[in-house]
Structure 1
Amino acid sequence: MLTMTLGSAAAQDRTALILDRLQHANQWRDHVMVVAHRAGGLQGAKARFPENSLAAVEDAVAAGAEMIEVDVRRSKDGAFIVMHDSWLDRTTTCKGEAAERTLAELRNCRLVVEAGRAETNEAVSTLAELLAVTRGRILVNVDNKLGTEALPGIIAEAKALGMAEQVVVKENIWNDARIAEVGTALKAAGRGFQFMPIIADDAVRDAGFVEKVARTFNSHAMELINWRNGAETLTETGGALFSTRMRATAIRGGWHLWANTYAILNKPGGFLAGGRGDELAVAAGMPAESWGFWVERGATIIQTDEPRAAIEWLAAKGYRVPYGQKRPEMPTTTASIN
C-alpha cells in the first residue's frame, strides 16, 4: 500500500533509507532492523525515560533504531493521544481513565519514569505532536489500542502531516473474518500508507494462512509472536511461525519476519518470545540466547525494550549493514552446470 519511492521529495531524509530496507526485504536480509518498544522508554530496567515519551524518541533516533512503536488512545474530546494503558496511574502523575479527561486536562499530567516514579517535565503527547518530532528521522509503528474503526482517523492524521509513508499501522489477524474486518477499515482510509498484520501462534500455526494475510494486505513485514505460557522452558525452535516453511514463505513474498523480545505488563519476561526476551539478553548477559536466537531463525526486524543494547550487539556480530551502501542487486540469471 506504500507509494513513496526513493525518487520522491523525501529521498534525502533518513526515513527514505530505512524505507528502502523495509520495502526490499530480500535484498536486505543481512541487516536486522531494530524497533524501540513504547518509543524505547523502558530501557535500563525501566529507569531511563518515560515510555511513549519524546525523550525516549530522541534516544531511539540517536541510537540508530529504524522504528519506534507507540500506543494510541483517545482523550474525552476525541484527540488521539500516545499512551499504552487506558488508565493514567502507572505512567503519569494523574489518576483515573485517560478517556475521561479532555486533552487540555491531560496536558497537566506529567510523564514519569516507571522505576522510582521520577516525575519529568514532559506531558502526554498527541499522536500528531509525536509524528511531527519524528519527521524524516525514524519510522513510527502505531499500536492501535482502540477498535479497528479508529484506523482511518489515525491514518488521516499522518496524511495531514504529509507523513503517511513514515507510519506503519498494525492489527491482530487470526482468521478470515478478521481479515475482512480489518480490510474494511483500511479501505475506508484510502491509499498511500503501510499496514502490518500481527500473527500469534496461539491462534495461527499455518504458514499458508500467513502467506494469504501477507498477500491480502501487501505487507512488507509480518509481526510474529511465539507465546510462552507460565514457566515453560525456553523455545528451542521458535514455534510454528518461525519454521523453515515460514522463512521460505517470507522470501517468496518479499517480506520481513518481525520478532518481539520485550516484556509485557504483568507477564514474565519473554512472554512474546518463547521465553527468549530482553531480560535474558541484558540482565543475564546472554544476548545470543535472545536476539541471536531470533536472527538465526530468520527475523530481520526485532522489537525490543533495549534498542541501544540490541543495536550495539547486532552490529558487533555483523548483523547490521551501515547506511549509505547501495541496495544489493537481485540476480537476473541462474548458473548452470554442464
Structure 2
Amino acid sequence: MLRFALFALLTSASVIATPLRSEPGRAAEIAQRFSDRRVAPHHVMVLAHRGGWLENGKPVRAENSRAAIENAIAMGVEMVEIDVRKSADGELVVMHDSWLDRTTTCKGEVERQSLRQIQQCRLVVEGSRPTMETVPTLRDLLLVARGRIMVNIDNKLGLDAVAEYAALARELGMERDVVVKENIWNESRLAAVKSALKPGVRFMPVLADDAVRSPGFATEVAESFDSTALEIVVWRQPDAPTLDGGPLFTPAMQAAYANSNQHVVVDTLSIVNTPGGLLAGGRGDRLGVGADLPGEAYGFWLDRGATMIHTDEPKAVIGWLEAEGRRIPYGLTN
C-alpha cells in the first residue's frame, strides 16, 4: 500500500554537472531512483513525451521513433513516453494517433492495416520531411531502450492490453523498466484498472484535475496501487497561469506529497488540438521554453512537490535543471 504523499520541496544540489549518459549500470540506477525517491532526493527526473520530438517548440525528430529514443538516451533523459496501438492482425505498434496520416507517409486507420502494410510507411517529422525509419513495433522500441532507459507506455488500447505489455516486458527482462499508465477519474474506473493490472510491469496512475477535484479521491487512488509515481495533469486556468496549482496541489496535498516516497510527475507538454495554455495550468513548456521563463513554469511545480517533469522539451528542461543544481550525476549515488 502506498501512502499518498510524494515529495518534499526540492533544494539545490551541491553538485552541478552533466549526467553520465550511457555508462554501464546507469539504467539500473535510473530504475533505482524511480523506485525510491530517497536515493537522490535533490534530483529531478525527466520524462520525454513521445520519445522526445520537439526542440524550442518545433518538431526536429519523428515522434515515437528510434531516433527520438536514441537522442533521449544521449541527453540523459531517464524515461521516454510512447504510445501503443494495434494493427489489424493484432501486432502492437508504436503510434500516437489512431490514423497514420499525420506522422507517416501513409494514410488510413492503424487498426485497419496489417503490420506488413504499416511497416511499409515511413515516419515523418511533422510538418517537414519523411525519415528513413519505418513504424516500429513495441518490441522494436523496447529493444532499443533495454538496459539504457525506462519506457512509459501510454495505453491507447483497452485495459485488456495491459496483460500483453506485461508478457512482453517479462519476455525481454524489462519488468523494472516498463511503466504502464492509465487515467483514473472515478470509483468505477479505479476498480476496473485494479482488476486489469498484471505482474510484469510497473504501474503509474494518472489524475487530471478536469475530472478529479477531490483530494480524498486522489489519496484513495495513490493508496490503491503499489506504484512509485503519480502523474498529475493540471488543466485549469485557461486565461492566465495558475497561481496555486489547482485542487491537486492544495497545501494539504503538498504536505502529503512531502511525506511520501513516490514521485510526483507533472505534465508540462501541450496536447494536440487543445489550447496550449490549459495544460500545466498555463505553466508548461510554452511558458518555460516558448516565453523563456523556466522558473515560472518548471520551478513553480518543483516548489509544489513535483519530482519528475513530463515534457516535450527535454533538452531545455535538463539544461535548466542542471543550471539550478537539480540534477545529480549518475554513478555518484551507489
What is the CA deviation profile of residues 161-200 of structure 1, one whole-angstrom value per residue up to 9, with x for unaligned ones? Answer: 11121000010112221111011111xx2x2421000001
C-alpha deviation, 1:126, in angstroms = 0.3
1:4 is matched with: none
Any stretches of 5+ residues in structure 2 without a counterpart? Answer: 2-22
Q: Aligned equivalents of 1:96 and 1:78: distance in 2?
A: 16
The AA in structure 1 aligned to 2:40 is W
C-alpha deviation, 1:156, in angstroms = 1.2
Question: Number of matched residues?
Answer: 313
C-alpha deviation, 1:270, in angstroms = 4.0
1:141 has 2:152 as partner = yes
2:50 to 38, 41, 58: 38
Q: Aligned equivalents of 1:270 and 1:302: distance in 2?
A: 17
Q: Aligned equivalents of 1:210 and 1:253: distance in 2?
A: 14
The AA in structure 2 aligned to 1:110 is R
State the identity %: 52
Q: CA RMSD in A?
A: 1.7
Q: Aligned equivalents of 2:290 and 2:176: distance in 1?
A: 36
Q: Aligned equivalents of 2:136 and 2:277: distance in 1?
A: 28
1:6 is matched with: none
1:292 to 255, 275, 299: 299
1:200 has 2:208 as partner = yes
Report the 3-state secondary structure (helix = DSSP H, G, I; strand = E; otherwise coil) of the residue aligned with 2:162: helix
Q: Aligned equivalents of 1:184 and 1:70: distance in 2?
A: 23
Q: Aligned equivalents of 1:30 and 1:172: distance in 2?
A: 28
1:87 has 2:87 as partner = no
Q: Aligned equivalents of 1:180 and 1:258: distance in 2?
A: 22
1:213 is matched with: 221
Does the 8 Å CA contact 2:257/2:305 hold for their aligned counterparts? Answer: no
Does the 8 Å CA contact 1:88/1:98 hold for their aligned counterparts? Answer: yes
C-alpha deviation, 1:119, in angstroms = 0.6
The AA in structure 2 aligned to 1:162 is G
Any stretches of 5+ residues in structure 1 without a counterpart? Answer: 2-10, 328-338
C-alpha deviation, 1:43, in angstroms = 2.8
2:231 is matched with: 223
What is the CA deviation profile of residues 186-237 of structure 1, one whole-angstrom value per residue up to 9, with x for unaligned ones? Answer: 1xx2x242100000112212333222212211110100111136x4211011
1:316 to 312, 320, 323: 323
Pairwise mapping of residues 64-213 of structure 1 onto structure 2 (< 5 A)? 64-116=76-128, 118-186=129-197, 189=198, 191-213=199-221
TM-score, normalised by the number of residues in structure 2: 0.90
Report the 3-state secondary structure (helix = DSSP H, G, I; strand = E; otherwise coil) of the residue aligned with 1:77: coil
C-alpha deviation, 1:247, in angstroms = 2.4
Does the 8 Å CA contact 2:205/2:230 hold for their aligned counterparts? Answer: yes
Report the 3-state secondary structure (helix = DSSP H, G, I; strand = E; otherwise coil) of the residue aligned with 1:299: coil
Report the 3-state secondary structure (helix = DSSP H, G, I; strand = E; otherwise coil) of the residue aligned with 1:76: coil
